[in-house]
Structure 1
Amino acid sequence: MATVMAPGETSDYIGVRFQKLGKLYHFKTGAQKDLVAGDHVIVETKRGKQLGQVIAFIDPQDVHRQKGLRAVQRKATPRDLVMKQVWEGKELDALITCREEAARAGINDAKFVKAEYSFDGSWLTIAYTTENKKLDVRGVQSALGRIYRTRVEMQLVGPRDVAKVMGGYGACGIPRCCSTFLTDFSPISIRMAKEQGISLSPQEITGMCGRLRCCLVYEYEQYVAAKKQLPKVGKTIGTPHGEGRVIDVRPLRDSVLVAVDDAVHEVERHQIEPLEELAALKNKAEAGCSKHEGGGCDCGAKEKKDAPE
């Protein structure tokens, strides 16, 4: 992850965002040396000219790739900002037309979720999702190009991106993370749910997008770090209540549940006595040095050298 410089600090590299919760793309400031965070700029991308907002200055060491990095062309003018709003107002009509053209073409196994114009209307991007990886949407693309007299790109997106576009509420009852603050999707695995002791039923770990919930990654590292300091389930330990067996681990409480005789107690980490480790150390101390009996041990010499005069 790129390091964002502190307020007041500047560099020759900036992070630009084209959507409210989009990824951060790196550009050179070029001749625009008076840029500040919050400015809107015009930059050249592989999708033509785009209008984006300067979010932060980026440390040169953290720039994605300095070689071939494009520079800001100019600051956006008030007219540019107005034109962007005008074209945004036409996106819904473009999406409806796209769906109509797809229906005419007999495409019923794809969902067209978003239409997005570039700030000057020279480029129209249609985001769609489908399970049919061999689906050909070039007919729809050509039809839209003829209707709107602009360059059209069909962009295949995944279920998480669809949920981000659609918005709505998650299973927790609050607005979805992806549509409120997440700018990027982190890799998520079933192991994260296991580490946190979450039920592996689909209803518990699956989001509205049909994929593993993004929130599984939020506390994963804390759980892993906390569990390293606590005994595992099934281990025998000493407690203020006597010797018992661990039946559950509570990482965020820094404690474990221990069965002692017929009772269950919650024991904090500082109260735990690691019986197995202590027994192992005791056995090692009683065994002594294996070379001592053979006369090849220099323990005595080391003790004499280390002894105070």
Structure 2
Amino acid sequence: MIELITATQLDYFDNIYIEGRGIDVQRNDYIIAETKRGKELLRVIKGNYTISEDDIVEPDGHMIKSADDEELMKYHQNQQEADHALHFCEKAVREEKLDMVMVNAQYTLDRKKLIFKFTADERVDFRSLVRVLATEFKTRIELRQVGVRDEAKYLGGIGPCGRAHCCSTFLGDFVPVSIQMAKNQDLSLSPTKISGACGRLMCCLNYEDDYYEEARGRMPDVGDSIKTPNGRGTVIGMNILDLVVKVKYKDDYIEDLHCDELEVSGGVK
């Protein structure tokens, strides 16, 4: 099994076998594969590896061969022509008065299909647009509606961490992200602080959520009355990463204690 990425979309592929051996591919190699979209040139992000039966996923296609210089040149030429096709499509959308925003366009390597991706608030009847595009480009046209998270994934960009968007580099399928994850990590709930370029909650909120949820299960909440080695106090703050809580006593003395030293009123949490 090999993992490949095209247009920032992560797919899994079978490696074909020649005389009992698979083709050796490494990270950042380019290969030709038969996909559900057609014949495509793809970049490898993880080379050959063996997986257990429990982890087997349905492959998205089959690797055919390693890409040569001629195929790489053809791919870049296709991309340039796809960019021109995108500009033509944007003009056609305005003329057809369709409520849709074009994201990108891509030819399959064999040019048997031209795929346009777009966003829209509602379903769009684009049959007339397909006819215009098919007449202009003389090939099979596919219009695919994507969500705002997919749009950010295709367009790419830099996140608040200073690195390229996770969705544009290594993430495959999007995972559900909830506001509770931000609460578990004591993050600001301001939308500008916890939203990504797509306007939705940042995917990275999910990365450490299991740890934070487990840690919160061991720690008291702010406002709890707890028993400490120095007497009873009230929790006024916490450091979840270090499992440390800030405790205030009746005489206004404040100290930091590890959660293992504490006992919540009414029993250990």
- Aligning the two structures, in what range does the TM-score lie when normalised by the shorter sequence? 0.7 to 0.9
Larger radius of gyration between Structure 1 and Structure 2: 1
Give 2:117's aligned residue.
Answer: 127
Q: 1:36 aligns with which of 8, 12, 24?
A: 24
Letter in 2 for 1:25: Y
Q: Is the 8 A contact 2:15 2:23 kept in 1?
A: no
Total equivalences in the alignment: 261
Check if 1:84 corresponds to 2:75. yes
Letter in 2 for 1:101: A
Give 2:108's aligned residue.
Answer: 118
Q: What pairs with 1:124-273 in structure 2 (closer than 5 Å)?
A: 124-133=114-123, 135-171=124-160, 174-261=163-250, 262-273=252-263
Where in structure 1 are there 5+ consecutive unaligned residues?
1-13, 279-309
Query: Judging changes above 3 Å, is the alpha-carbon distance between structure 1 residues 35 and 102 closer, same or farther for their aligned structure 2 residues?
Result: same
- CA-to-partner distance for each residue in 1:124-154, whole Å, 9 max, x for gaps? 1101001022x11222222111111111111
Q: Is the 8 A contact 2:117 2:146 kept in 1?
A: yes
**C-alpha distance in 2 between matches for 1:217 and 1:139:** 42
Letter in 2 for 1:15: I
Check if 1:63 corresponds to 2:50. no
What secondary structure does 1:237 align onto?
strand
- When normalised by structure 2's length, the TM-score is 0.85
Letter in 2 for 1:124: L
What secondary structure does 2:241 align onto?
helix
Deviates more, 1:208-217 or 1:27-36: 27-36
Deviates more, 1:174-183 or 1:208-217: 174-183
Q: Is the 8 A contact 2:17 2:23 kept in 1?
A: no
**CA offset at residue 34 of structure 1?**
4.1
**C-alpha distance in 2 between matches for 1:150 and 1:58:** 38
**C-alpha distance in 1 between matches for 2:62 and 2:100:** 37
What secondary structure does 2:77 align onto?
helix
Of structures 1 and 2, the one scoring higher in RCO (CA 8 A, sep 6+) is 2
Check if 1:277 corresponds to 2:257. no
Q: 1:27 aligns with which of 7, 14, 26?
A: 14
**CA offset at residue 234 of structure 1?**
3.5
Where in structure 2 are there 5+ consecutive unaligned residues?
none
**C-alpha distance in 2 between matches for 1:148 and 1:24:** 28
Give 2:40's aligned residue.
Answer: 50
Q: Is the 8 A contact 2:224 2:235 kept in 1?
A: yes
Give 1:105's aligned residue.
Answer: 96
Letter in 1 for 2:132: A
Give 2:4's aligned residue.
Answer: 17
Letter in 2 for 1:81: L
